[in-house]
Copies of this chain bind each other. A is one copy, B any other.
Amino acid sequence: MKSRKEGSRIFIRLETGDDVLKSLAEVAARYGVSGGWFNGIGSASDVELGYYDLERRDYDRVRIERDVEIASASGSLGLVEGKPFVHLHAVVSDRQCVPRAGHLFRAVAAATVEFVLLLAEAPIERTRDEATGLNLWRV
């Protein structure tokens, strides 16, 4: 994983085999930041997407077996129990350019993954919300 910080922006490239969510959290830890916004693209294997069922308070999960393009990945950087936490949603697409989309549980960088991280000046906590059963981004 490669990164370059310029003021309040970090430009990032993940390398083949990098776990996307873990690597982005590692970038945040490396620079000591825990609030911000991500946008990225690339290609990935081992993708798992999710849909949050608000009534059941749990996710339906969809595993994508084949390698995909990451057509879009966006989301927030927050702080959960003192550690950087990455919350991404993604659109991924197959060989026929047919997409699937949702909450991103897991992706491993294939050929390449490129991201920008726009930093907040202070940490943004994510804490439990009883009404939804989720950790919410406390901006």
Contact = CB atoms under 8 A, between A and B. Distances in A.
A121 B104 CA distance: 31
A120 B7 CA distance: 9
Q: Is the interface of A mostly helix, strand, loop or mixed?
A: strand
Nearest to A3: B139
B4 A102 contact: no
Number of copies: 3
Given A37-B11, A97-B101, A99-B101, A2 B114 contact: no
Interface in A56-88: 60, 62, 67, 69-72, 74-76, 87-88
Nearest to A95: B51
Nearest to A115: B37
A96 B62 contact: yes
A41 B52 CA distance: 13
B9 A118 contact: yes
Contacts of A16: 131-132
Interface of A: 2-4, 6-9, 11-13, 16, 35, 37, 39-43, 49-54, 60, 62, 67, 69-72, 74-76, 87-103, 110-112, 114, 116, 118, 120-122, 124, 129, 131-132, 134, 136-139
Q: Closest 3 A-B residue pairs measured CB to CB?
A: A71-B101, A93-B101, A41-B89
